[in-house]
């Protein structure tokens, strides 16, 4: 009986210690997710406050682009509603609309030289574009925190402890991926062909791809651009 009692006591203490460690780990993961979300929320609020200024400035010049401005205003309201309700899927969908609307708006500005030269517009455009980049960066950190949290909760036997103490998984924040287009990069290279049988230079890139990074490559290389805009040579003979 004494041996059985020691075994039972040891097992009980082991389970208790493991449960306490798992609980503390779940608490840490939960706070990491909240902190990551808070970092995004701050930027969303800042952009929310800047957008009306941008729309008001554009309205003075873009009399015939009311539909585009209306899309930006409506998408802004959708983002705000999703943010306040911490509705992650709805926020991702609203972000798609807002980013699309802003992209159209900034593209149309090219048709309005006076607006493009306006210092207030230039400041707001730079400010909002900077916030967009920061939001994209921080949303990756948020998704990393969510994935770590979700994996921890779903692992065996931790899932039982998570269920007892009501630790929950979270939704990742998905933004629309930039469209991929086939781009012929031959115009970037001014050196003559080394070999007539070289492979054509083709790359898949995002619209923000920095083509200047590719000028040091010779013809005949297959150049790949990752989703982050980094450059790599997939195959072919290249002269640095």
* Residue 43 pLDDT greater than 60, yes or no: yes
Q: Are both 17 and 43 inside the same structural domain?
A: yes
| CATH classification of the domain holding 116 | 1.20.1440.20
* Residue 114 pLDDT greater than 80, yes or no: yes
User: Are the CB atoms for 167 and 26 separated by under 8 Å?
Assistant: yes
From 109, 139, 164, the end of a domain falls on 164
**Mean of the pLDDT values across residues 54-80?**
91
| Cα–Cα distance measured from residue 204 to residue 147, given in angstroms and rounded to the nearest whole number | 28
What is 169-191 written as a DSSP string? Answer: ------PPPPPPEEEE-GGG--S
Q: Are both 130 and 52 inside the same structural domain?
A: yes
Is it true that the peptide bond before 148 is cis, omega within 30 degrees of 0?
no
DSSP lists the bridge partners of residue 225 as 231
Q: Per-residue pLDDT tens for 23-42?
A: 999 999 999 999 999 999 99
Q: Are both 143 and 194 inside the same structural domain?
A: no
Q: Are both 55 and 16 inside the same structural domain?
A: yes
User: Residue 75 sits in which domain range?
Assistant: 2-164
Q: Are both 62 and 22 inside the same structural domain?
A: yes
Q: What is the pTM of this model?
A: 0.64
Q: Are both 210 and 120 inside the same structural domain?
A: no
Is the Cα dihedral 179, 183, 188, 191 positive or negative? positive
Q: Assign 10 a pLDDT band (cuts: 50, 70, 90).
A: confident
Count: domains in the chain: 2
* Residue 174 pLDDT greater than 90, yes or no: no
**Mean of the pLDDT values across residues 69-78?**
93
| Cα–Cα distance measured from residue 48 to residue 55, given in angstroms and rounded to the nearest whole number | 12
Q: Assign 134 a pLDDT band (cuts: 50, 70, 90).
A: very high
* Residue 97 pLDDT greater than 60, yes or no: yes
pLDDT of residue 194: 39
DSSP lists the bridge partners of residue 197 as none
User: Are the CB atoms for 43 and 131 separated by under 8 Å?
Assistant: yes
From 136, 164, 192, the end of a domain falls on 164
Q: Is there a domain that residue 82 lies in?
A: yes
Q: Is there a domain that residue 125 lies in?
A: yes
| Cα–Cα distance measured from residue 147 to residue 181, given in angstroms and rounded to the nearest whole number | 30
Q: Are both 190 and 136 inside the same structural domain?
A: no
pLDDT of residue 1: 53
pLDDT mean across residues, the chain = 76
């Amino acid at each position: 009986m004494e041996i059985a009692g020691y075994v039972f006591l040891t097992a009980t203490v082991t389970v208790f210690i493991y449960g306490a460690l798992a609980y503390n780990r779940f608490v840490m993961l939960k706070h990491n997710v909240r902190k990551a979300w808070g970092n995004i929320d701050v930027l969303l609020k800042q952009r929310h406050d800047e957008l009306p200024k941008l729309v008001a400035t554009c309205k003075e010049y873009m009399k015939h682009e009311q539909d585009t401005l209306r899309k930006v205003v409506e998408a802004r309201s959708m983002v705000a509603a999703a943010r306040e309700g911490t509705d992650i899927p709805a926020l991702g969908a609203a972000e798609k609309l807002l980013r699309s609307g802003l992209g159209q708006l900034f593209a149309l500005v090219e048709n309005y030289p006076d607006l493009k030269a306006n210092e207030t517009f230039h400041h707001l455009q730079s400010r909002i574009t900077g916030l967009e980049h920061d939001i994209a960066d921080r949303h990756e950190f948020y998704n990393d925190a969510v994935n770590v949290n979700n994996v921890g909760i779903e692992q065996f036997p931790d899932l039982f402890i998570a269920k007892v103490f009501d630790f929950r998984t979270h939704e990742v924040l998905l933004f629309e991926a930039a469209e991929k287009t086939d781009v012929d990069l031959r115009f970037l290279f001014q050196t003559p062909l080394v070999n007539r049988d070289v492979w054509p230079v083709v790359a898949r890139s995002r619209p923000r791809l920095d083509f200047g990074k590719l000028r040091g490559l010779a013809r005949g290389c297959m150049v790949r651009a990752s989703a982050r805009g980094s450059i790599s040579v997939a195959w072919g003979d290249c002269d640095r």
